[in-house]
Amino acid sequence: MSDYKTIHGISIRDYTTDPDTLITGQVWFDKTNKVLQFQATGAGAWATGGSLNVGGRYGSGFGTQTAGLYFTGLRQGLSGDRTETESYNGSSFSEVGDMNTGRSTYGESGVGTTTAGACIAGYSNPGSSNYDNVENWNGSGWAETTDINTARRAGACTGTQAASMIFGGFTSTQVNQTEVWNGSSWTEVNDLNTTRDNMASLGVTTAALSNGGSPGPTAVTAVVESWNGTSWTETTDINTARNALGGSGTATEGVVFAGRAPSKSGHTERWNGTAWTEQNNMSRNVAYVGNATASGTSTFTAGADSDGNPSAPAACEEWNEPTISTKTADTD
Amino acid sequence: MAKTYQYCVAENWGKGFIDYEESTRITFKSFPGDVWQVPAYNKHGNLWIAKVAGAVKTKDEAQTIVTAKMDAAQTAWDNDNVEGESSDEKNARLGSKPEDITLEE
């Protein structure tokens, strides 16, 4: 039988305490505790967060997992599109000021932070009309601001209240239009190469990614396009084609999660600027996950569309980035 | 055949119900009716079930709970109609009809 030295060319050192400078992949024997230890990068994982006061579906959100907002969509036990807004502080949700126009947003229509955010476009449900409305959140209430040029639902949005963008979506069919907000007006800019709706966004208006989505009524795609502030170019596909997924992070570091392929899942992938890596999945199989955090991967996802009963769940999950840690063979 | 999963019923109380360390060690899957699936014959799975005071169920017992919830969801979907609404509009409003869920051994 081969031993460690035959395979790796070196022996395993033993220590009475952990080595001073640990390197990922390093293996050593802990003489004190008589266990084999190694330094490893674990995958990221989800943990449960506080639950919404009222379950939500087809809603959206923005912010981080310690300061976020959830809004729009259908709410469990209540009819029609809802205006209720809930604020998340990292452990619990509380009700705050209502929106002016209730709508279902089918994903990532929220941008910004809990002191300066926005909800862009959406859908009247029932009513079957698309919205061009934009509302700004100032930390305590919502106010109408300048509409986008092309009313739509299921587009992807990213950025901040002062500099945001919407791309793709659905009018009477999937569209590829991109619009950029500069703080005072919306401007049509270069279109996506792959027309689609229900994709996930990452990044800001100078560097963004459009991930997955639906190019047609029943189709799903794994295509990812990169926005450089001027135009879209194709980059590395996500591993699993799907739509109605969520995303959080920047154009160089982010996660996409959940969605339909066509079954709903909690599938999670992490982007390092070059490649997508599989991560631990969410515990729930859901789609139309609304929250996106453009500034980083500290995201939460509440509510969402579930096949289960209730279909508008209250559960929330928080994403935890991969960590480098010391593991003990056989027990970790 | 040795089973791959074990099931329990436990209500998600929110923060701390599944923590990061637990999530990195085992795969959790939730189903309607507060049914949770974790790996069978797994120390970390057993510890988590004890932590959440989960009521352990056989796969068949868990399936009965899930099926009852899905039947209710499907009936609710069938009965939720708006006068003059097309099937596409209904799908946009409610999502597609909930599908049966079959738990794995």
Q: What is the Cα–Cα distance from A279 to A96, expressed in whole angstroms?
A: 34
ipTM: 0.89
Q: What is the pLDDT at residue A85?
A: 96
* Residue pair A260/A243 in contact by the 8 Å Cβ criterion: yes
Tell me whether B95 touches chain A (CB under 8 Å): yes
**DSSP of B9-61, one letter per residue?**
E----STTSS-HHHHHHS--EEETTTEEEEETT-HHHHHHHHHTT-EEE-HHH
Name the CA dihedral angle for A297, A300, A303, A305, rounded to a multiple of 10 degrees.
20
- CA distances to A156, A225, A284, B45, B48 from B39, rounded to whole Å, are 36, 37, 16, 6, 11
Q: Chain A window 227-286: which residues touch B at a Cβ cutoff of 8 Å?
A: 263, 266, 280-281, 283-285
Tell me whether B80 touches chain A (CB under 8 Å): no
Residue B15 has its nearest CB partner, among A46, A50, A57, at A50
Residuewise pLDDT in 10s, chain A (332 residues): 567 777 777 788 888 887 888 888 888 888 888 888 888 877 899 999 999 999 999 999 999 999 999 999 989 888 888 999 999 999 999 999 999 999 988 878 999 999 999 999 999 977 779 999 999 999 999 999 999 999 999 999 999 999 999 999 999 999 999 999 999 999 999 999 999 999 999 999 999 999 999 999 889 999 999 999 999 999 999 999 999 999 999 999 999 999 999 889 999 999 999 999 999 999 999 999 877 666 677 888 888 888 777 778 999 999 999 888 788 876 55
Residue spans of the domains in chain A: they are 4-41, 45-320
Tell me whether B78 touches chain A (CB under 8 Å): no
- CA distances to A18, A59, A86, A99, A142 from A96, rounded to whole Å, are 49, 15, 6, 10, 10
Tell me whether A95 touches chain B (CB under 8 Å): no
Residue of B nearest to A288 (CA): B95
Tokens of B51: 């932590």
Residue A283 has its nearest CB partner, among B24, B29, B94, at B29
Residue spans of the domains in chain B: they are 5-94
**Shortest CA distance to A67 belongs to which of A40, A46, A90, A85?**
A90
Residues of chain A with C-beta less than 8 angstroms from the C-beta of B15: 48-50, 91-92
- Cross-chain Cβ contact B12/A311 below 8 Å: no
Residues of chain A with C-beta less than 8 angstroms from the C-beta of B93: 125-126
Tell me whether B25 touches chain A (CB under 8 Å): yes
Residue of A nearest to B66 (CA): A308
CATH architecture of A45-320: 6 Propeller (2.120)
**DSSP of A206-229, one letter per residue?**
TEEEEE--BSSSS-----EEEE-S
- Cross-chain Cβ contact B27/A281 below 8 Å: yes
**One-letter amino acid for residue A61 of the chain:** G
Determine the length of chain B.
Answer: 105
Q: Give the strands of the sheet with A60-64, arranged side by side.
A: A93-96, A85-88, A67-71, A60-64, A291-292
Residue A205, exposed/middle/buried by CB under 10 A (0-12, 13-18, 19+)? buried
Tell me whether A91 touches chain B (CB under 8 Å): yes
Q: Which residues of A259-293 are buried (b: 16+ CB within 10 A; e: fewer)?
A: bbbbebbbbbbbbeeeebeebbbbbbbbbbbbbbb
Average pLDDT over every residue of B57-82: 94
Residue with tokens 């135009």: A231
Q: What is the Cα–Cα distance from A247 to A234, expressed in whole angstroms?
A: 17
Residue of B nearest to A104 (CA): B93
CB neighbours of residue A27 within 10 Å: 16
